[in-house]
Copies of this chain bind each other. A is one copy, B any other.
Amino acid sequence: MLLAAALCCLSLLAAAPSAAVAAKVHHHTWDIEYQYKSLDCFRKLAVTINGEAPGPTIRATRGDTVVVTVRNKLGTENTGIHWHGIRQIGSPWADGTVGVTQCPILPDETFTYRFVVDRPGTYLYHAHYGMQRVAGLDGMIVVSEPDGVVEPFAYDEERTVLLMDWWNTSVYEQAVGLASDPLVFVTEPQSLLINGRGRSSNCSPAAPLPTLFTAVPGKTYRLRIGSLTSLSSLSFQIEGHSMTVVEADGHYVKPFVVRTLFVYSGETYSVLLKADQDPSRNYWAASNVVGRERNTTSGLAILSYAGNDPRRAPPTDQQPEAPAWDDVAPRKEQSRAIVAHPDHAVPAPPAADRRLLLLNTQNRIDNHLRWAINGVSLRFPDTPYLVSMKRGLRGAYDQRPPADAYDYRGYDISSPPTANGTVASAVYRLALGSVVDVVLQNAAMTNGKNETHPWHLHGHDFWVLGYGDGKFDPERDTGKLNLRDPIMKNTVPLHPMGWTAVRFVADNPGVWLFHCHIEAHVYMGMGVVFEEGVDRVARLPKSIMGCGRSRGLP
């Protein structure tokens, strides 16, 4: 795998001594096309990368440049690929967010993404166009430290674990339901995939289970775990084994041990797993839905110990017991346990220049149920923000800025009003270099229930300052935020009927999406857009233009 990756790389310089390692440029050429795949026994069309779904893992070393040339062979459908967790410093046009940073890549066209991977860690990539990610266009990015740089933990080998949920239905079918009146929400997934393989309930029992990997007894493995579910929050367990969490979203964590790891869509973790159990048998790896009433069988794979048939199922009565789907307490506990490694903490600025208090509600707007943030449901403009804001095309998006806060005094988050709200392509314009606090505030849905929303920020990492229950009260809660050892992340859960506070520095010129990472939710408007220093962005490449008002721009 590493050898194959190396073969695809073009060294800018001849091999250099490890002390001054030359940055490399990794070239990949990807054909994106529909193919029939049976990822969970059910045969359906998946969007593939060079014939694979999910796609290949991109491997690079900190400081390297990754160049991915994407050829769209989807026939009549466009695409765009987001490099999730890569901040795109100096290359905001390569973020891959259609409608925000680029026009879609048309069928038969080629688009080249070029970006620097400036930090070690575990990242993701996926389609960022409509709900196309549901169709399987995704994968992982692994950025290693250069040889000789010591990480704050040790392991023998590493493996990747990509978690997904999967449906029998197509994106088109799901989207039509979401646009209908009354709304038909996507069903619970038919299956959960581990590294792209799973078993839907209609699989014959004889269908082989995937092998997670084969462990050598006594060795310690770094599992780079990422979730690109479209809907589901997940638990992940490996029977009989504990896992030490050491990295989250590319940042080193003060290590802590779990038996069950909760992973939200868009998050990545590195955990250390020691092969310290009875080596004469295999063990279950299992993912399960949490946070929504579970109606999907476990995603299963086999952790094999060397010497056993890697496809031999472990004793079925040893399958890890899934956590109760509606028990939020252990999930909040994990969230609070994730703090910065003492030797690698990045100090957060002591105070914010601006605070956004973002309330999510379900609103009925123009006869459709939509998600709104402070009453505004996001609809991407047909001209990408990056182009229209950089080039001053003021009519291309809604000029009126959305509100910095909802009227939180006296607001009842258990029964929010839902009749108001607008659909808009509005933008929060942030002062370049300013420190911004965002407090995400959850509230009950129209059915009275409440869900977990994993929010993902493009172009930045944020410090996770705290989680709380109920309604965030600036006077009461601001002083309780963690400024001592907050972890930096790019994706964070907003727990049911609670709030989550993050802080970031708006120091990356460009236009950046911040959104719930559930495909159906962002499709229904659950996101906001930040602009900072767009005038400082370098000359935009012509390749991101061609749609909306960017058509014919010189």
Contacts and interface: CB of A to CB of B under 8 A. Distances in A.
Chain A contact-residue range equals: 35 or more
Nearest to A79: B76
B546 A552 contact: yes
B106 A382 contact: yes
A76 B131 CA distance: 8
A109 B176 contact: no
Contacts of A108: 380, 382, 548
A554 B551 contact: no
A547 to B, nearest CB: 5
A76 B34 contact: no
Given A109-B382, A176-B36, A552 B542 contact: yes
Contacts of A175: 34, 75
A107 interface: yes
Interface string A122-156: 00000001111000000000000000000000000
A77 interface: yes
Contacts of A172: 34, 45, 75, 170
A175 B77 CA distance: 12
B104 A130 contact: no
Nearest to A78: B76
A179 B78 CA distance: 18
A171 interface: yes
A277 interface: no
A107 B107 CA distance: 13
A553 interface: yes
A241 B413 CA distance: 70
A543 interface: yes
What number of copies of this chain does the assembly contain? 2
Contacts of A79: 76
Contacts of A78: 76-78, 106-107
A334 interface: no
Contact of A551 (B75, B173, B176, B546): B546
A35 B106 contact: no
A545 interface: yes
Nearest to A177: B36
A109 B543 contact: no
Contacts of A75: 130-131, 171-172, 175
Contacts of A382: 106, 108-109
Interface string A528-554: 000000000000001101111001111
Interface in A64-97: 75-79
Nearest to A109: B382
B107 A106 contact: no
A173 B553 CA distance: 36
A236 to B, nearest CB: 30
B171 A170 contact: no
A33 B543 CA distance: 27
A38 to B, nearest CB: 14
Contact of A176 (B34, B129, B542, B543): B34
A175 B76 CA distance: 10
Contact of A545 (B36, B107, B551, B554): B551
Q: Which of A173, A542, A552 has the most CB of B within 10 A?
A: A552
Interface string A443-480: 00000000000000000000000000000000000000
Contacts of A545: 546, 551-552
A260 to B, nearest CB: 36
A181 to B, nearest CB: 12
A252 B173 CA distance: 45
B548 A109 contact: yes
Nearest to A543: B551
Interface string A366-400: 00000000000000101000000000000000000
Interface in A149-190: 170-173, 175-176, 179
Nearest to A542: B552
Contacts of A33: 179
Contacts of A130: 75-76, 107
A45 B176 contact: yes
Contacts of A35: 176
Contacts of A542: 551-552
A171 B552 CA distance: 31
Contacts of A548: 106, 108-109
A45 B177 CA distance: 11
Contacts of A171: 75-76
Interface of A: 33-36, 45, 75-79, 103-104, 106-109, 129-132, 170-173, 175-176, 179, 380, 382, 542-543, 545-548, 551-554
23 contacts: A33-B179, A34-B172, A45-B176, A75-B130, A75-B171, A75-B175, A76-B77, A76-B79, A76-B132, A76-B171, A78-B78, A106-B106, A106-B547, A109-B382, A109-B548, A542-B551, A542-B552, A545-B546, A546-B547, A546-B551, A546-B552, A552-B552, A552-B554
6 pairs of A and B residues whose beta carbons are closest in the complex: A546-B546, A76-B130, A546-B551, A108-B382, A542-B552, A75-B130
Given A45-B172, A78-B106, A103-B106, 5 more contacts: A45-B173, A76-B78, A543-B551, A545-B546, A546-B547
